[in-house]
Structures are given as structure tokens and as C-alpha cells.
């Protein structure tokens, strides 16, 4: 019954059988069609997610050898022109409206017909309808869709520009320009996520840069395997770019917003391939590309806010708990006001310290002066009532001088002033009398 049937049809037939029935069919194939038996056995021996991945590779190889050309044909109300490109999912043509009511440059993507056996057309149209609801300046607009000769097609905005890779080669962008461009891509993806749409195939080839140097996201994966998708889990096709796909996408698991965030981290690494481990951009890359979903950014918004924080020299969310880092960001963000504030603070601290030192010095001098006054008073008190000779006065002065010199708390300039005062001669009583008598005469 299965003789002459394609390997793809046989494979799908076997999936509906139990193990015993499968074995009977495989025995028949081994006897009559050993080559197909070997191919089918390899497919059945892989995991369920690998079935579709292998089939996708088989169909993608067939796609590269399309023997049909729709150039210059009229499809519904659209006039096709030349071919823009082709890949594993289909072929894209340049087009315009055939009725002449609107002058509009369009791009029409025809889905590879081999996928008709893998995916439900209704589900494809529903996924395309979700894309048509997206309205964002950084997303290529989806206008229409339809079917022509068993070919499902999607009508999109034609973006005149270059891919991200080519744009980076042609233009030497600064760090700020790269971050700004990446932030715009984040805004586009953020808008899609708000409408429950994942890109699921984010890579440089699907980011076009137009003449205004603005990004345009194209080629959303209509076969994305997400829980909210209208495509059944067993119908999901593993179509992705190995370099930019998330671990869960490679393993055939359900995709989430964190899957696109992982791809964003890869693109950020493409823009900044070499960064210091303590650099903010490196921290953002590492956070976005975590193997575990729970350890990545929870949303594209969180990722974008950190990117914009780097642009504005503000602390990123991953390091804002570090005081020194926060201060460094402030100095970068507002260097002149920060310098003036720092200068004012240093001046204030220096003035306060100097004032405190002076007050302490005056207080010490006051204490020493009081002590010295007390000692002199004591000397005078003990000498009261006794005959005071010149020798005893000299002894008192010498004793006072020694105490002054030996006092460690007395500043040097005070010692000098006190010793100088002690050395100044005091007018004697005889001199004062003579001076008084002279004045009277």
C-alpha cells in the first residue's frame, strides 16, 4: 500500500500508528524500499522535536532549487516584479498594486509549498493576521495575505535599506549610535510582545536599516512554537538561526519573551564583541544570554531601560546598589556641576577643619595662660611679707622661665612672647622718684 509513496507521507502515516503497526510497516519497507526504510528509521529514532527539524532541513534544501518563477505575474490585485531573495521558508518578490489605486512599494513573501504538509494554512493565516495588527515605525508593516495556486503569501511593506551586518560594515558607528540603534530594535520588539507576538527568528539578516538609519524588523517566524500560538505544538517547525537562537528554541521547547531577549543579547554582543567584564554593556549581555529563562531579563522593557541608562550615564539596574559605581555615573553624567560641588565640599571641609584647629589652639592657650597666671600668683603669695631682694626676684624669674620652657602644652610662639616680656626691664622705684621730681621742677 505504501509502495511509491513519498518518505514524508510515510513518516506522517507512521506517526499515527502504534508501535506494533509501525514495526509491520517498517518491515515491509525494509524488504521492498530499503533506502526509504533507512531514512524513516533515522527520523523515528530521533526525538519528536527533531522530526520536524530534520524535515525542515529536507524541505529547505528542496526550496533552494525552486523550479517556478512568479516574476512579472499578477497575483490577485498585486503585480509582481523581480525576486528580492529566497530562503528556507520561501521566496520574496518586489511588487506594487496592479489596479493603480495606490502607489505603494510592497514585498510579497510566498511560503515554501512543502510546508503545506507540515502546517495548517488556517493557522498560518491567523499568525499573519497577528502580525498585521502590529503598527510600529520599526516593524515592517504587514498589509494583506492570501493564497495563489496552493502558495500561501503575505503582503508586507518593502524596506529599502541594508541588513544590520552590511550596515555595520558600511558605517563606522560610535558607541552611542550603536546603543541608540539597539534601543530602537528593543522598542519594536517590545511593541510586538505587547500584542502577544514573538519574533522567534531575530538575527542581523532580519533587521533592515533604512535610509534614515532606522531599523525595521522583518520575517517574523510564522511557525513559532509558543503556548499562545494557534499552531499546534506538534505542528511547530524548528526554524531558527543557530547562532542567535535561544537554548529552548534549539531543544524544541515552547518559546517565551525571554527567548527573544536571548537573541537580543546575541545581537548586542555582535555590536560590542569585546567589552570589559565590569563594563555595563557586558553585564547587560550576560544577563540577557543566561541559559536559564528565570535569570534573564523579565521583559524587553527592562533590557531597554538598562541600555538607555548606559546612554545617559545612569546606573543600570544590575549595579545600582553599588555606591561608588553610582557616584562614578553621576560624575560622567554631570562633570562640571559635580566638580563644582566637590570643590565646594572640599573647601567647606578645609575651612571647618582650619576653624576647629584654630579654636582648639586658642582654647589650649587659654588653659596654659590660666595655669601660668596661677603659678605666678602662687609665687607672689609665698613671697609676700618677706624681704624681697634682687636675688630672690631673679630666682623667681628663672623658675618661671624654666616652667615656661618645660611646658609641652604651651605653643612655641606663646613661649617666645612670655620670655620676651620677662626679659623687658622694669623701672625701679628710685628711677620713678627721680623722674617724678624732675617733672615737678
**d(Cα 303, Cα 261) in Å, to the nearest integer?**
8
As to burial, measured by CB atoms within 10 angstroms (0-12 exposed, 13-18 middle, 19+ buried), residue 363 is exposed
CATH, range 74-157: 3.30.200.20
**d(Cα 299, Cα 41) in Å, to the nearest integer?**
42
Backbone angles phi, psi at 428, to 5 degrees: -80, 170
Distinct helix (H) and strand (E) counts, the chain: 16, 9
pLDDT of residue 402: 75
Backbone angles phi, psi at 173, to 5 degrees: -90, 145
**d(Cα 135, Cα 131) in Å, to the nearest integer?**
9
pLDDT of residue 50: 46
Task: Kindly report the number of other CB atoms within 10 A of residue 36's CB atom.
Answer: 18
**d(Cα 288, Cα 294) in Å, to the nearest integer?**
10
Boundaries of every domain in the chain: 7-63, 74-157, 164-217+256-332, 347-431
**Nearest residue to 331 via CA among 341, 322, 344, 321:** 341
pLDDT of residue 47: 41
Q: Find all residues with CB under 8 Å of 241, minimum gap 6, and list them.
A: 201, 203, 205
pLDDT of residue 421: 66
141 is in an annotated binding site: no
**d(Cα 38, Cα 29) in Å, to the nearest integer?**
9
Q: What is the pLDDT of residues 141-155, one digit of tens each?
A: 999 888 888 888 999
As to burial, measured by CB atoms within 10 angstroms (0-12 exposed, 13-18 middle, 19+ buried), residue 301 is middle
CATH, range 164-217+256-332: 1.10.510.10
Q: Find all residues with CB under 8 Å of 132, minimum gap 6, and list them.
A: 142, 143, 144, 145
- Residues of the chain predicted below pLDDT 50: 1-4, 46-64, 229-237, 431-432, 437
Amino acid at each position: 500500500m505504501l509502495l511509491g509513496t513519498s518518505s514524508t507521507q510515510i513518516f506522517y502515516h507512521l506517526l499515527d500508528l502504534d508501535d506494533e503497526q509501525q514495526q509491520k510497516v517498517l518491515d515491509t519497507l525494509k524488504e521492498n524500499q530499503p533506502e526509504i526504510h533507512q531514512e524513516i528509521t533515522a527520523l523515528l529514532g530521533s526525538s519528536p522535536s527533531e522530526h520536524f527539524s530534520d524535515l525542515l532541513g529536507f524541505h529547505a534544501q528542496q526550496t533552494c532549487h525552486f523550479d517556478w518563477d512568479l516574476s512579472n505575474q499578477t497575483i490577485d490585485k498585486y503585480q509582481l516584479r523581480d525576486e528580492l531573495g529566497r530562503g528556507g521558508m520561501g521566496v520574496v518578490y518586489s511588487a506594487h498594486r496592479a489596479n493603480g489605486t495606490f502607489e505603494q512599494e510592497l514585498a510579497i513573501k510566498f511560503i515554501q509549498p512543502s510546508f503545506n504538509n507540515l502546517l495548517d494554512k488556517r493557522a498560518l493565516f491567523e499568525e499573519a493576521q497577528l502580525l498585521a495588527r502590529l503598527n510600529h515605525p520599526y516593524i515592517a508593516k504587514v498589509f494583506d495575505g492570501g493564497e495563489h495556486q496552493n502558495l500561501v503569501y503575505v503582503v508586507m511593506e518593502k524596506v529599502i535599506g541594508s541588513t544590520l551586518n552590511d550596515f555595520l560594515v558600511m558605517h563606522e558607528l560610535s558607541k552611542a549610535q550603536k546603543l541608540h540603534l539597539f534601543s530602537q530594535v528593543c522598542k519594536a520588539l517590545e511593541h510586538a510582545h505587547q500584542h502577544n507576538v514573538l519574533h522567534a527568528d531575530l538575527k542581523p539578516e532580519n533587521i533592515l536599516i533604512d535610509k534614515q538609519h532606522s531599523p525595521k524588523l522583518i520575517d517574523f517566524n510564522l511557525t513559532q512554537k509558543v503556548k499562545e500560538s494557534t499552531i499546534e505544538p506538534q505542528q511547530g517547525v524548528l526554524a531558527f538561526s543557530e547562532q542567535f537562537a535561544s537554548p529552548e528554541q534549539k531543544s524544541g521547547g515552547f518559546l517565551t519573551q525571554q527567548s527573544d531577549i536571548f537573541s537580543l543579547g546575541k545581537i548586542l554582543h555582535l555590536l560590542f564583541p569585546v567589552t570589559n567584564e565590569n563594563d555595563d554593556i557586558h553585564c547587560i549581555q550576560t544577563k540577557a544570554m543566561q541559559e536559564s529563562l528565570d535569570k534573564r531579563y523579565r521583559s524587553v522593557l527592562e533590557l531597554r531601560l538598562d541600555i538607555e541608562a548606559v546612554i545617559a550615564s545612569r546606573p543600570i539596574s544590575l549595579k545600582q546598589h553599588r555606591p561608588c559605581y553610582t557616584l562614578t555615573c553621576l560624575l560622567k553624567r554631570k562633570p562640571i556641576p559635580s566638580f563644582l560641588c566637590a570643590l565646594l565640599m572640599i573647601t567647606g571641609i578645609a575651612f571647618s577643619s582650619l576653624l576647629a584647629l584654630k579654636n582648639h589652639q586658642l582654647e589650649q592657650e587659654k588653659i596654659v595662660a590660666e595655669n601660668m597666671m596661677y603659678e605666678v600668683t602662687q609665687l607672689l603669695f609665698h613671697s609676700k611679707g618677706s624681704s624681697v631682694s634682687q636675688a630672690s626676684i631673679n630666682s623667681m624669674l628663672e623658675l618661671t622661665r624654666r616652667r615656661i620652657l618645660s611646658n609641652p602644652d604651651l605653643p612655641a610662639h606663646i613661649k617666645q612672647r612670655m620670655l620676651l616680656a620677662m626679659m623687658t626691664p622694669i623701672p625701679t622705684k628710685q628711677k620713678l622718684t627721680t623722674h617724678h621730681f624732675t617733672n615737678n621742677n
